[in-house]
Amino acid sequence: MKKTNNKGFSLIELIIVIAIMAVLVAIIAPNLTKYLGKSKTNTDEKNKDEIASTLKTCITDFEMDESHGKFIATSGGTATITWGAGGSTVTGTSNDADAKTAVDAEIDASKTKSKENSSKYAIATITREANDTYSIAVTFS
């Protein structure tokens, strides 16, 4: 009878390899979570800028249509756009229904939810200045 020589890994060798892998994971994991957090924050900042830019375009398009008039009726007036699970609401404009339709058509709902904190949605505050320019501030709340 021939004796077979089964050459494999011993239990000690396997435990050493697993221990080395655990040390590597312990070193890499904190850096990975830090980078993931920064990535979500940067994505939120990019989305805020994109929402503000889209709203500027939306306001310009809205006012170019002569049937609408100004997006915000009075100089120094403010409109607040709030997104959430039920869609968007627009308050403080000269024509809320038309403005809401214009905003909803322009902005993708996925950009209005925070990546960093999934329970937060975008809120845009639009102010019409005295010289008929608009300032837009977007936050996640």
User: Which position has the higher pLDDT, 104 or 45?
Assistant: 45
| Total structural domains within the chain | 1
Q: 21-25, 53-57, 103-107: which has the minimum mean pLDDT? A: 103-107
Q: Is the Cβ–Cβ distance between 88 and 105 less than 8 Å?
A: no
Is residue 41 predicted with pLDDT exceeding 80?
yes
Residues above pLDDT 90, as percent of the chain:
42
The residue segments making up the domain with residue 69 are 11-140
Tell me whether residue 39 is in a domain. yes
Q: 16-30, 82-96, 110-124: which has the minimum mean pLDDT? A: 82-96
Tell me whether residue 6 is in a domain. no
Q: Is the Cβ–Cβ distance between 120 and 113 less than 8 Å?
A: yes
Tell me whether residue 90 is in a domain. yes
